[in-house]
Amino acid sequence: MFAIALVALILMVPTLDYARREHLRWYLHPSPETLSAFQSKQREEFLVRLGVATPIAVAALALAIFLIRSPGRKPEGN
């Protein structure tokens, strides 16, 4: 459960300083070049976040599969 929340947090919470310099350049001097630099930095930020979140998601999935397949308590009766 914690790993799922951590992955969601990593992917959804904005990192304000990552593309700040490019955003400020685009804001002060709007042009196609500054806009493409800003958008490129935003894509790069997403890829960095995805690279951080992927191993956590894989570990959470592996743990979930392990817990589902692990032998638990036997049902009472018989």
DSSP letter assigned to residue 31: -
Q: Is the pTM of this model over 0.85?
A: no
Q: Which of the four pLDDT bands, split at 50, 70 and 90, describes residue 4?
A: confident
- pLDDT band for 76, please (50, 70, 90 cuts): low
Question: What's the DSSP call for residue 78?
Answer: -
Mean residue pLDDT across the chain: 83
Domain ranges of the chain: 2-69
pLDDT band (50, 70, 90) for residue 78? low
Per-residue pLDDT averaged across 59-74, rounded?
A: 80
